[in-house]
């Protein structure tokens, strides 16, 4: 997502919001070095936003306060696009748009991530055998290292589908 932001910028400054771990990763440094030469990439760690999303607080006064805290300095530095560097942040896109306004483009990599997941599923023959037009209804099971009973309604709220959580199977 940094590449399209760097290619489109007219101000020469793009913002990225993500977790600190993302910014400290070698991959992030490589992507910036490769695709954003001559562009100011303003990295804004914003881990509290992950917690807001996981608590289902997509557009609360507290979330908006946090968004202003993280985004206002980037706006003051003249960014014209903001990269959502964490998949959690897609759920905040509407609120982010209201904070940054129409002059800042929001670049959400989630659709590209979904396309890549589909490619991998297809490549490994893991797609469901029933066609999408089928009346058969599948089930979604997610494995979590956390407590499976923690926030069971949130994924349903986020995705509109019932999800069954389990602990991952023990390695043999």
| 160: alpha, beta or left? (left if phi > 0; alpha if psi -120 to 50) | left
pLDDT score of 79 more than 90: yes
Question: Is residue 63 included in any domain, yes or no?
Answer: yes
Check whether residue 148 and residue 107 sit in a common domain. Answer: no
Check whether residue 39 and residue 88 sit in a common domain. Answer: yes
**CB neighbours of 9 closer than 8 A, spacing ≥ 6?**
39, 80, 81
Check whether residue 68 and residue 146 sit in a common domain. Answer: no
Check whether residue 160 and residue 101 sit in a common domain. Answer: no
Question: Is residue 123 included in any domain, yes or no?
Answer: no
Question: Is residue 121 included in any domain, yes or no?
Answer: no
pLDDT score of 172 more than 70: no
Question: Is residue 8 included in any domain, yes or no?
Answer: yes
**Total structural domains within the chain:** 2
pTM strictly above 0.75: yes
Question: Is residue 25 included in any domain, yes or no?
Answer: yes
Check whether residue 16 and residue 86 sit in a common domain. Answer: yes
Question: Is residue 172 included in any domain, yes or no?
Answer: no
Q: How many CB atoms lie within 10 A of CB 52?
A: 23
Distance in angstroms (rounded) separating the CA atoms of residues 60 and 58: 6
Check whether residue 102 and residue 142 sit in a common domain. Answer: no
pLDDT band at 153 (very low <50, low <70, confident <90, very high): confident
pLDDT band at 169 (very low <50, low <70, confident <90, very high): confident
pLDDT band at 133 (very low <50, low <70, confident <90, very high): low
Closest CA to 20 of 10, 28, 30: 28
The parent domain of residue 144 ranges over: 135-166
Question: Is residue 127 included in any domain, yes or no?
Answer: no
DSSP 8-state secondary structure symbol assigned to residue 87 = G
Check whether residue 79 and residue 47 sit in a common domain. Answer: yes
The pair of structure tokens assigned to 162 is: 């019932």
Distance in angstroms (rounded) separating the CA atoms of residues 39 and 24: 19
Check whether residue 154 and residue 105 sit in a common domain. Answer: no
Helix (H) or strand (E) holding 105: strand 105-107
- The predicted structure's pLDDT at residue 39: 97
Check whether residue 64 and residue 101 sit in a common domain. Answer: yes
**CB neighbours of 146 closer than 8 A, spacing ≥ 6?**
none
Check whether residue 27 and residue 94 sit in a common domain. Answer: yes
Question: Is residue 56 included in any domain, yes or no?
Answer: yes
CATH number at residue 86: 3.40.50.1860
pLDDT band at 132 (very low <50, low <70, confident <90, very high): low
Using DSSP, state whether 101 is helix, strand or coil: coil
Check whether residue 99 and residue 20 sit in a common domain. Answer: yes
């Amino acid at each position: 997502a940094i590449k399209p932001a760097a290619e489109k910028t007219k101000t020469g400054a793009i913002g990225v919001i993500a977790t600190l771990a993302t910014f400290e990763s070698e991959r992030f440094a490589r992507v910036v070095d490769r695709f954003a030469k001559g562009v100011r990439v303003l990295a804004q760690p914003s881990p509290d936003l992950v917690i807001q999303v996981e608590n289902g607080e997509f557009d609360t006064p507290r979330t908006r306060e946090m968004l202003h805290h993280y985004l206002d300095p980037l706006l003051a530095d003249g960014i014209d696009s903001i990269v959502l560097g964490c998949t959690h942040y897609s759920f905040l896109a509407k609120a982010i748009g209201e904070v940054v306004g129409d002059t800042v483009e929001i670049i959400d990599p989630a659709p590209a991530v979904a396309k890549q997941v589909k490619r991998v599923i297809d490549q490994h023959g893991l797609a469901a055998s029933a066609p999408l037009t089928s009346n058969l209804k599948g089930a979604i099971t997610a494995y979590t290292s956390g407590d499976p009973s923690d926030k069971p309604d949130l994924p349903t709220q986020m995705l509109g589908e019932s999800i069954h959580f389990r602990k991952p199977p023990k390695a043999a």
